[in-house]
Amino acid sequence: MFRDRIALASVLVAPLALGASARAGVVHADIWVTAFGGQLVTGGWDHDTGVVINPDQRVFEGELGLDPSFPFSGDEPGIGSDLVGASVRLNVLNTLSAWNGSSFDLSNSVLTVGYGGQSADTASGGFVSFAVTAGLDLHPEYTLSGPGATDPANGIYLATFFFASNGLADSQVFWAVLNLGMSEEDHEAAVEWVEANLVPAPSAIALLGVAGLLRRRRA
């Protein structure tokens, strides 16, 4: 299930909509990792069009178990980047939570992230690394297991990550809200809770910085 999908479209940046939902309407957003002011930053990226649809996104979605051959795995959210030539590490924090209908509780299930023969998980942390090439569209494998490697329970799970790369400050943490067998309404409610409760409102200075980044990319 490991995939490197090469996007044919050049990367563009959509107009900034401050305060808009991280999901930017119905468009699925993969993770975009770039650098600004010497630090890695994340945004929301539409790999089908090559457009960065939300330059400050930190909450992403994925579905597990869509392929019956891999009932507890998925490969979304994917990752794109314009840091060509850099080696980037996707760090997995050692915590996993499950949606209880109104917030998240710590879970004793384990999410494993695999790519290119590497793996890291929410039980012990760690990272997987990848080299950024032109047109990168990387899709790690996200696999959920229950306690003691049993089959996991259906639910909506929250995992926490950050990016690192030599010569750049680490990104802020970001989150993936992964759905296994629950309704899309429940999934969206969980995503909205994370956006409202875990993501701090951007400061005016940060917003000006993002606007400056957009102007440079459009030039």
pLDDT tens sequence across 162-201: 999 999 999 999 999 999 999 999 999 999 999 999 998 6
The ranges assigned to domains in the chain are 3-218
Determine the Cα–Cα distance for residues 120 and 164; give it in Å rounded to an integer: 14
- 127 bridge partner residues: 91
Q: Which two tokens stand for residue 112?
A: 């494993």
Strands 51-54 and 12-13: parallel
According to the model, what pLDDT value does residue 198 have?
95
Nearest alpha-carbon partner for 178 in 81, 109, 102: 109
According to the model, what pLDDT value does residue 201 have?
67
Determine the Cα–Cα distance for residues 93 and 121; give it in Å rounded to an integer: 8
H or E stretch including 202?
A: none
Backbone angles phi, psi at 207, to 5 degrees: -65, -40
According to the model, what pLDDT value does residue 7 have?
37
- 113 bridge partner residues: 120, 142
According to the model, what pLDDT value does residue 53 have?
93
Segments in the chain below pLDDT 50: 1-25, 203-219
